[in-house]
Amino acid sequence: MNKLFRILEITPELAEELASGPKEDHFHDFEELIIVSEGSLTHYIDFKVEVVTGPFACYISMGKMHRLEPHKDLRGWVINYKTEFIPDSKLSFYSNFFTFTNIPLDSGPCLNRFTDLCRIINSEYQLVPVDYPTLRHLVNGLISMFDAQRNRNIPLENELKLSQVSSFNNFLVILEENFRNDAGVTFYAGKMNMSERNLNLICRNNFRMSVSEIIETRKLIEAKRMLMYSDKTVSEIGYALGYNEKSYFTRVFHARMEITPSRYREMTRQIIS
């Protein structure tokens, strides 16, 4: 994408065009936020597939190999932006831990807030010249709404929820500094001065994953990046991420991705080229 930012409304005509057009796996050089008010799409990402029915919001970070197959009944909005337009967003950070980043939206006031803000963003984008600082504030507001909706889906009372979200975000910061090491649940619980049981509870409430699953997921995200963009061998990548044996790294990667590291490198580089 040559532009810093763009927004598209998914009209019946565009949905028909997208549903009938060619469909290929590809990588983005931009971030993508999709607000679906109705209809459905089939989403292939990192060799996995999911059919999603609206209303929902979907975030796709730069560098994810994926393919969207919109159905003809799809309606909503698509927003694309370069990372320099909104650097260090929470959505980009959270997406490291998920293949799919879909947030269900309740029909009625919840969905209306998202679609109304998309219309405001679109109206601002049509002005000449485009006021990018204003657009940035509006899109940041949409991202904040996305994250707030994710938090609302956590099944906890508000006071406990706020405390656990704060603790979980602290855990992610510590993880980002240490995930390349051979460190397990005991290490992270100690860093946070809490029991392993409490840390696991917080992680499951916030991300539906155990501490071990989140650690492993973060390692595999980095492994995929290194397989695509570095010339390190599979053994070197595994060792750099705390796996002391190539065979163990390969088993872990295959168990999660259903493909070996070598095959993943081969397929993604074919798509890139």
Out of 152, 177, 209, a domain closes at 152
Sheet containing 40-45, strands listed edge to edge, beginning at the edge strand earlier in sequence? 48-53, 40-45, 66-70
Q: Which of 177, 170, 264, 266 lies closest to 223, judged by CA?
A: 264
Domain contains 18: yes
Q: What is the domain extent for residue 127?
A: 5-152
Strands 102-104 and 40-45: unpaired
pLDDT for residue 251: 93
Confidence (pTM)? 0.71
How far is residue 37's CA from residue 35's CA, in Å, rounded to a whole number?
6
Check whether residue 141 and residue 21 sit in a common domain.
yes
Torsion of CA 256, 177, 240, 187, to 10 degrees: -70
Check whether residue 196 and residue 255 sit in a common domain.
yes
Check whether residue 250 and residue 208 sit in a common domain.
yes
How far is residue 14's CA from residue 21's CA, in Å, rounded to a whole number?
10
Domain contains 212: yes
Check whether residue 55 and residue 190 sit in a common domain.
no
Check whether residue 143 and residue 237 sit in a common domain.
no
Polymer length of the chain: 273
Check whether residue 172 and residue 142 sit in a common domain.
no
∠ CA(203), CA(177), CA(167), 5° rounding?
A: 30
DSSP state at residue 41:
E
Strands annotated E in the chain: 5-10, 31-38, 40-45, 48-53, 56-60, 66-70, 75-81, 102-104
Sequence-ordered list of residues with C-beta below 8 angstroms from that of 211, at least 6 positions apart, any chain: 171, 185, 188, 189, 196, 199, 200, 203
| Residues 170-198: tens digit of each pLDDT | 898 899 899 998 899 999 999 999 999 99
Domains of the chain: total: 2
Domain contains 236: yes
- Given a contact cutoff of 8 angstroms between Cβ atoms, the answer to whether 249 and 234 are in contact is yes
pLDDT for residue 14: 87
DSSP state at residue 183:
-
Check whether residue 217 and residue 102 sit in a common domain.
no
The CATH number for 249's domain is 1.10.10.60
Token digits of residue 20: 């009938």
- Given a contact cutoff of 8 angstroms between Cβ atoms, the answer to whether 41 and 100 are in contact is no
pLDDT for residue 233: 94
Check whether residue 254 and residue 132 sit in a common domain.
no
pLDDT for residue 158: 55
Domain contains 158: no
How far is residue 69's CA from residue 49's CA, in Å, rounded to a whole number?
11
First and final CA of the chain: distance in angstroms?
Answer: 17
The CATH number for 127's domain is 2.60.120.280
Check whether residue 143 and residue 171 sit in a common domain.
no
User: Could you tell me which residues are beta bridge partners of residue 102?
Assistant: 58
Token digits of residue 36: 């679906």
Check whether residue 257 and residue 182 sit in a common domain.
yes
Domain contains 246: yes
Q: Per residue of the chain (273 residues), what is the pLDDT tens digit?
A: 788 999 999 999 988 888 887 677 777 778 888 999 999 888 877 667 788 888 999 888 776 777 778 888 999 999 999 888 887 776 666 666 665 578 889 889 999 999 999 999 999 999 999 999 999 999 999 988 988 887 776 655 555 666 777 888 889 889 989 999 889 999 999 999 999 999 999 888 877 789 999 999 889 888 988 998 889 999 999 999 999 888 999 999 999 888 899 998 888 877 666
How far is residue 143's CA from residue 123's CA, in Å, rounded to a whole number?
18
Check whether residue 108 and residue 208 sit in a common domain.
no
Domain contains 40: yes
How far is residue 91's CA from residue 9's CA, in Å, rounded to a whole number?
21
How far is residue 23's CA from residue 15's CA, in Å, rounded to a whole number?
13
